[in-house]
Amino acid sequence: MAKSLHRATTYSILVNLLLFVLKAAVGIISNSIAVISEAVNSLTDIISSVAIKYAVKVSSKKPDETHQFGHNAAQPIAAFIVAVFAFVVGIKIVEESIRRIILPEDITIHWAIYLVLSATIIIKIMLSKYQKIIGKKYTSPAMNAAGVDSLNDVLASAIALIGVICVDFGFRFVDGIAGILVAVFIFKTGYEVAKENIDYLMGKSADDKLIFEIASKALKIEGVEGLNDLRSHYVGDKFHIEIHVEVNKDISTTISHDIGKKVKFAIEDMDEVQKVFVHIDPV
């Protein structure tokens, strides 16, 4: 799993680095705030990808004396930091865009701008699909966040492209408006990533569907006569489960213990679950 996630983050870094260089070059040549905003957006993607790559590395470490339940929180923490950074960048872009609307600057439209922005849209669509597949397959909140960000980048690049077209027709103030709209998508990315990962950091409980699946697995274990309590919460991006199973009070302690172990192993076999604590209640 870790190897595939590392490969995915490496691809993201290389793609975003290439797009940043290209957009920064045409942004400087054209002096378009919309294109420059897109370059800054790619720079944030590079920083995000580096943070995610490091978080994936940390989260794959085995439990140790100081982190006895593992390092799974590394990914949601990295994603949340990315969200905060996105808000800060978005504010800076809005400030500059407003200034450009009030005092429009000369902009040089070059064919390379159309080529770079069009290529960005196509590449980001492909990257987003790839990141979402990897994120879903390995239940990686950081990679899922990257997929959302890439999809928002597609819309941001499309807006920047429309802004450049309008400037080409003589409407210079539209460049500043396009810059603000690009910033809106950066804000949107930050909000969506923060909203998703705050649940991990706050220890949100599992939804009803997962609770039902967990209960069903427990009840299928031979010797389990019922359940009287089931609680869950996130630790990092995985759930810890506390479950009380009812067993016949007349069976031996050894048999009760074996039933509890079977319940524990069955539930811990689920991808969403990291640790299960089983309490035996004789009835």
Count CB neighbours of 257 within 10 A. Answer: 13
pTM confidence score: 0.62
- Write down the pLDDT at residue 70: 60
pLDDT of residue 73: 66
| Rounded CA Rg of the chain | 25
Same fold, 2-201 and 208-282: no
pLDDT value of position 235: 77
Classify domain 208-282 at the CATH superfamily level: Cation efflux protein, cytoplasmic domain (3.30.70.1350)
DSSP string, 244-260: EEEE-TTS-HHHHHHHH
Mean pLDDT by 10 residues, the chain (283 residues): 73 87 89 85 78 69 65 71 80 85 81 90 91 81 77 84 87 86 82 76 82 91 88 82 90 90 91 88 87
What phi, psi does 70 have (nearest 5°)? 90, -170
**Which option is the CATH number for 2-201: 1.10.443.10, 1.10.1740.10, 1.20.1510.10, 3.40.50.1360?**
1.20.1510.10
Instruction: Report pLDDT for 264.
Output: 93
User: What are the structural domain ranges in the chain?
Assistant: 2-201, 208-282
Q: What is the pLDDT of residue 2?
A: 60
Which pLDDT score, from 0 to 100, does residue 88 have?
A: 83
pLDDT attached to residue 178: 87
pLDDT (0 to 100) of residue 277: 92
